[in-house]
Structure 1
Amino acid sequence: MSTTDAAEAQGRIALVTGASRGIGAATVRALHRDGASVIIHAGRNRAAAEALAAELGSDTLVVVGDLTDPTARASIWEQALGWRGRLDVLVNNAGAWIASPLDDTDQWQQGWEDNLSLNLTACADLCRFAILHWSTTPSGGVIVNVASRSSHRGDDAEHLAYGAAKGGLLALTKGIARAFARHRVLAYAVAPGWVQTGLSGGTDLEAVVKTLPMQEITPPEDVAEVIAFLASGRSPHTTGATIDITGEDYVR
């Protein structure tokens, strides 16, 4: 990272959701390396989040809460904001690949509710809190939403609700970018494909690798580096864009 990059990142305060592992943990490491103070959110795995905070050593705060609970969303935001009195970056990374099978009415209904709650509405609520906070400051802030290649192409028959929720997340990101650019609120999305996070949902990853142009699963650090750059605010006129990170597995 250049000296200029470091200067841009230095002093920023960032909230990263779902940060105890995978893309979230890699993003925390990248932001912290670049000089940011980082709030590490975990849904349930406090031990992993605290281990990450201990690894980094300073300028971190661990916040635990269930993002499917609207009350908890507000509490997570308030704890994060109260730490240093401001937030500059929101990374909506928390999410899950939740099935919504057609042949079971109860699972279908529950799958839609769970996908929309975690993968879309929780992100929307945190974006709302961020925008309201930044509307009172002249410097604005940065939102990075972690979407999916499914946002563009849809998902498989068992995960229609997941694809729809992630597609909605892209629409949310674009709407925020258009509506609040004049207030210096920058909103971006990243759309990964298969990422090596340890959460394959029972998928045969060896078989998946054989279908990929680069013959490897994307490491979470690849996604984290893009997020860290966007969070730096160094490319404000990219606001509203979605960056695909799929190793050529999906090309638009």
Structure 2
Amino acid sequence: MRIDLSSKTVLITGGSRGIGAAAVRAFAASGARVAVHCGRNLHVAQALAAEVGGGAEAFKAELSDPEACTPLWDAVVARFGRVDVLVNNAGVAMAAPVAGEEAAWLDAWTRTMAVNLTAMGLLCRAAIGHFQSQGGGRIINISSRAAFRGDTPDYMAYAASKGGGVALTRSIARGFGKQGIVAFDVAPGFTRTEMAQDFIDQYGEAYASSDIALSRLTEPGDIAPMLVFLASGLADHATGTTIDINAGSYVH
């Protein structure tokens, strides 16, 4: 069955690369009009929007700045008139050794929380208000298996931020379902992206793939179809749930 999202407008944060870029392509292939957010490389996001077509456009906002988050949402609504689906995909993973300088550790913690959790919360807040006014909508938040099993000591901030995103998703699902607003959490395991390359460089690819049950690392294209499915309305009664896509590396 082909999912038809031709009547939907979707905002995908961190849409210029990795999981976000795969999602942009998958949503556009399903007929959706896509707002491709990027933090820095506007020309990359613009090229991707031109590639997928369908009225897709690029929007730049630095999500580490809380004051940039709601204006991003407002800019997309002003341009497209409405948003039906929010995919909170943007994220950072910054190594911060516990034994390092406290100032450096705190800086990594603060930036990680700003992008991975505060920006997600602000965009969810904006989406809820918008969805209430139009009779409903769907939120898909990207967390991580680290939210459930933890991460290495150097990436504690990353795990903590992703755990907060899971709680946020569940709270939205419980609180706004009767207003037609559903929310899902998708928790990838280690995925071959540019962001993950730092981890591979630090620990080695063998370490990254040592605990998966399948024969290859997860690719962004393995995750994007699930996002389209959750956006379709076919899974609304699973609101609040977490979908694990981690190649069997963590089963809970």
Tell me, in whole angstroms, the C-alpha distance in 2 between the residues paired with 1:198 and 1:69.
22
Normalising by structure 1, report the TM-score.
0.95
Per the alignment, residue 154 of structure 1 pairs with 150
Tell me, in whole angstroms, the C-alpha distance in 2 between the residues paired with 1:240 and 1:44.
31
Aligned 1:55-134 pairs, distance under 5 A: 55-103=51-99, 104-134=101-131
Tell me, in whole angstroms, the C-alpha distance in 2 between the residues paired with 1:235 and 1:113.
34
Q: Which amino acid aligns with 1:22?
A: G
SS at match of 2:74: helix
Greater alpha carbon shift after TM alignment, 13-22 vs 198-207: 198-207
C-alpha offsets along residues 8-61 of structure 1, whole Å, 9 cap, x if unaligned? x12100000000011000001111111100000000011211111121133101
Q: Which amino acid aligns with 1:11?
A: S
Post-superposition offset of 1:107 = 1.6
Tell me, in whole angstroms, the C-alpha distance in 1 between the residues paired with 2:243 and 2:164.
16
Per the alignment, residue 231 of structure 1 pairs with 231
Tell me, in whole angstroms, the C-alpha distance in 1 between the residues paired with 2:177 and 2:54.
33
Match of residue 18, structure 2, among 19, 22, 47: 22
Q: Which amino acid aligns with 1:242?
A: T
SS at match of 1:136: helix
Percent identity over the alignment is 42
Q: Which amino acid aligns with 2:154?
A: E
Greater alpha carbon shift after TM alignment, 205-214 vs 18-27: 205-214
C-alpha contact (below 8 Å) 2:212/2:246 kept by paired residues: no
C-alpha offsets along residues 160-211 of structure 1, whole Å, 9 cap, x if unaligned? 1111110000000000000000001010010001111133212412442344
SS at match of 2:133: coil
Unaligned runs of 5+ in 1: none
Note closer, same or farther for the CA distance 1:150–1:207 as it changes in structure 2 (3 Å cut).
Answer: closer
Tell me, in whole angstroms, the C-alpha distance in 2 between the residues paired with 1:100 and 1:161.
8
Tell me, in whole angstroms, the C-alpha distance in 2 between the residues paired with 1:87 and 1:249.
34
Tell me, in whole angstroms, the C-alpha distance in 1 between the residues paired with 2:94 and 2:63.
15
Normalising by structure 2, report the TM-score.
0.95
Q: Which amino acid aligns with 1:215?
A: S
Tell me, in whole angstroms, the C-alpha distance in 2 between the residues paired with 1:68 and 1:198.
19
Structure 1 runs (4+) deviating above 3 angstroms are none
Post-superposition offset of 1:230 = 0.4
Tell me, in whole angstroms, the C-alpha distance in 1 between the residues paired with 2:210 and 2:162.
26
Tell me, in whole angstroms, the C-alpha distance in 2 between the residues paired with 1:206 and 1:198.
17
Tell me, in whole angstroms, the C-alpha distance in 2 between the residues paired with 1:219 and 1:89.
23
Number of residue-to-residue matches in the alignment: 247
Tell me, in whole angstroms, the C-alpha distance in 2 between the residues paired with 1:233 and 1:186.
9
Per the alignment, residue 192 of structure 1 pairs with 188
Unaligned runs of 5+ in 2: none
Tell me, in whole angstroms, the C-alpha distance in 2 between the residues paired with 1:58 and 1:128.
27
What is the Cα-based RMSD across aligned positions, in Å? Answer: 1.2
Per the alignment, residue 177 of structure 2 pairs with 181
C-alpha offsets along residues 202-237 of structure 1, whole Å, 9 cap, x if unaligned? 241244234422131101011111111101121110
Tell me, in whole angstroms, the C-alpha distance in 1 between the residues paired with 2:59 and 2:27.
17
SS at match of 1:244: strand
Tell me, in whole angstroms, the C-alpha distance in 2 between the residues paired with 1:57 and 1:133.
25
Per the alignment, residue 39 of structure 2 pairs with 43
